[in-house]
Amino acid sequence: MPNVSEGRRSDVIAEIGEAAASVPEVRLLDVHSDHDHHRSVYTLVGPSEPLGEAAFRLARAAVARIDMESHHGVHPRMGALDVLPFVPLGATPMQSCIDLAHRVGRQLADGLALPVYFYGEAALRPERRMLVDIRRGEYEGLRATVGSDPAREPDAGPSSVGPAGACAVGARKPLVAFNMHLRTANIGIARTIAGAVRASSGGLPGVQALGLPTSRPDIVQISMNLTDLDATPLHAIALAVRGEAERLGVELAESELVGLLPLSATLEASAAILGLPALGASQVIELAMQET
């Protein structure tokens, strides 16, 4: 799921995606570009070895086409290929993604001279598990301190930052980016609900949430990242936000999904609404057909 610091030039966005999709066995399932964030998220799937090669080609294209000196968007960033998380699907163990992250991270360091920081499950230092800690100060802050501050020494690659910046390479569980909307102009209500549900203020585990305005003055957003769907499934957060909205007397508008959902999240949501806790792929005709 590479996050690239380009969300405006459609030719560059396409070129970077095509570089990755040029690897046989790798498929580019989705590209989500955001103009205000000036950022694109690519969803690539495939077996481990080809996926690593695709990530390298994507990084090479991003480094060639993006100059961090002139990049400015509302989303925090520190490099052309800003973040490169590997996510296990199906029966793939997390360890495969950790190994792949380390292998590809060293390739980026050696082949593209990028400072690389390992994060998430692939972190080599406990203080680098969280992206927010690695990216503190963003591109400009990192450039100013990387050679002198030992705490900012990269895990691989040079101790200096060029115009392509640095890259965080990691492994993590599937993350779902999911935004819910309220029919109100009152941003305070979105912030109140975000505060009630997010983990950091005592809400639900694995939930990051912010109250944000939208381009429509009568709609505000609760922008969420769900980083641990085992701890808090997607439907649980949807019900929690719905409950808070009802309590505050605000109506919900359509939700928004950024990128894709894992199949398990849709089965769990169906199970919850239908009262079928054991609902699995073998109870769904088309999925049962694919099982051996």
Residues near its own copies, by CB under 8 A? 27, 29-30, 43, 45, 89-90, 174, 178, 180, 234-235, 238-239, 252-257, 260-263, 265-267, 269-270, 272-277, 279, 283-290
Q: How far is the CB of 11 from its own copies (least distance, A)?
A: 24
Closest to 108 measured CA to CA, from 152, 162, 67: 162
Mind telling me the catalytic residues? 75
Query: What's the one-letter identity of residue 19?
Result: A
Q: How far is the CB of 185 from its own copies (least distance, A)?
A: 20
Q: How far is the CB of 143 from its own copies (least distance, A)?
A: 35
DSSP letter for 128, please.
Answer: G
Closer to its own copies at the Cβ: 231 or 272?
Answer: 272
- Residues facing 213 on adjacent strands: 220
- What's the CA gap between 168 and 2, in Å, rounded? 10
Closer to its own copies at the Cβ: 52 or 174?
Answer: 174
Q: How far is the CB of 44 from its own copies (least distance, A)?
A: 11
Q: How far is the CB of 89 from its own copies (least distance, A)?
A: 6
Closer to its own copies at the Cβ: 3 or 5?
Answer: 3
| Contact assessment for residue 148 and residue 226, using Cβ atoms and an 8 Å cutoff | no
Neighbouring C-beta atoms of residue 10, cutoff 10 Å: 11
Closest to 160 measured CA to CA, from 174, 147, 177: 147
Closer to its own copies at the Cβ: 48 or 255?
Answer: 255
Closer to its own copies at the Cβ: 192 or 270?
Answer: 270
22, two tokens: 């040029």
Q: What is the 3-state secondary structure (H, E, C) of 53-74?
A: HHHHHHHHHHHHHCCHHHCCCC
Q: How far is the CB of 86 from its own copies (least distance, A)?
A: 14
Instruction: Kindly provide the b/e burial profile for residues 60-77, where b requires at least 16 CB atoms within 10 angstroms of the residue's own CB.
Output: bbbbebbebeebebeeeb
Closer to its own copies at the Cβ: 85 or 165?
Answer: 85
259, two tokens: 């990128």
Query: What's the one-letter identity of residue 138?
Result: E
- What's the CA gap between 230 and 232, in Å, rounded? 6
- Residues facing 224 on adjacent strands: 178, 209
